[in-house]
Amino acid sequence: MRFEDSREYQMGQQSEEIFARKMQARGWAVIPTCDLSCVVKETKAPILYAPMEGLLVTPDAMVFRDGAVCWTEIKGKSEPTWRVYPPGPRWEHGIDHELLAEYEDVQRVTRLTVYVIVHELKSPLDPRRQSALIPSDLWLRLSMNKILSIGEHRPKWPGGVASPNRRGRGGRGGWLWARSAMTAITL
């Protein structure tokens, strides 16, 4: 199965479209860079031609209003993950470690803040403890700077023993952070 046909890809694409429409309705202009035709073929990701660094994978959208500009990486997630091992126990979200490095470079080169926006379809009833997940349609935000300062690299993410061949983009694992650090936003 191609990645573009996967449930994960379809959920992400749907969240990107919803985000763009909702931001537009709130007065923001949105360039959905995820839809640009100049992409890295292996990842279907949009690229930035950067001086010195060459080609960089960009976040999904650039958002503008009243002179404010930022990058947004939109993640459609069915639910957060409960982890009990250190630094847990906690609910958490994450991204591929390889993307973290790309977005860190994009932020440095463009001098624009990158935000990770998570569209969570189910949320914990108690965000501080392991609890039932309930339908939520919740949008959460966290800046790349905060993600870098509070998150940690997990080389064996995602998949664990259940899927030993999947270790994130480029086989570099993931970068995970506490869901509690994210701010709920209204779209």
- Secondary structure (3-state) at 69: strand
Give the up-direction half-sphere exposure of residue 108: CA atoms within 13 A in the CB hemisphere: 11
pTM of the model: 0.87
Evaluate whether 122 touches 135 at the Cβ level (below 8 Å).
yes
Least confident of 45-59, 73-87, 119-133, 154-168: 154-168
* Distance in angstroms (rounded) separating the CA atoms of residues 58 and 34: 8
Helix (H) or strand (E) holding 73: strand 68-77
> Could you write out the DSSP letters of every residue in 98-123?
HHHHHHHHHHHHH---EEEEEEEEEE
> Could you write out the DSSP letters of every residue in 40-57?
ETTTTEEEEEETTTEEEE
Q: In this predicted model, what pLDDT tens digit does every residue of 140-151 receive, in sequence order?
A: 999 999 999 999
More confident residue, 168 or 28: 28
Helix (H) or strand (E) holding 16: helix 7-25
Q: How confident is the model at residue 87 (pLDDT cuts 50, 70, 90)?
A: confident
More confident residue, 46 or 39: 46
Beta-carbon count within 10 A of 3 CB: 10
Question: Degrees (nearest 5) of the Cα angle 113, 149, 62?
Answer: 15
Q: How confident is the model at residue 78 (pLDDT cuts 50, 70, 90)?
A: very high
Q: How confident is the model at residue 166 (pLDDT cuts 50, 70, 90)?
A: low
CATH of 3-185, one of 3.40.1350.10, 3.30.300.10, 3.40.50.300, 3.90.1150.10: 3.40.1350.10
pLDDT at residue 37 greater than cutoff 70:
no
Identify the CA nearest to 172 among candidates 161, 160, 156: 156
For the chain, the domains span: 3-185
pLDDT at residue 26 greater than cutoff 90:
yes
Identify the CA nearest to 182 among candidates 60, 69, 93: 93
At residue 40, the pLDDT reads 63
Positive or negative: CA dihedral 35, 40, 42, 43: negative
* Distance in angstroms (rounded) separating the CA atoms of residues 96 and 143: 16
Q: How confident is the model at residue 49 (pLDDT cuts 50, 70, 90)?
A: confident
Q: How confident is the model at residue 39 (pLDDT cuts 50, 70, 90)?
A: low
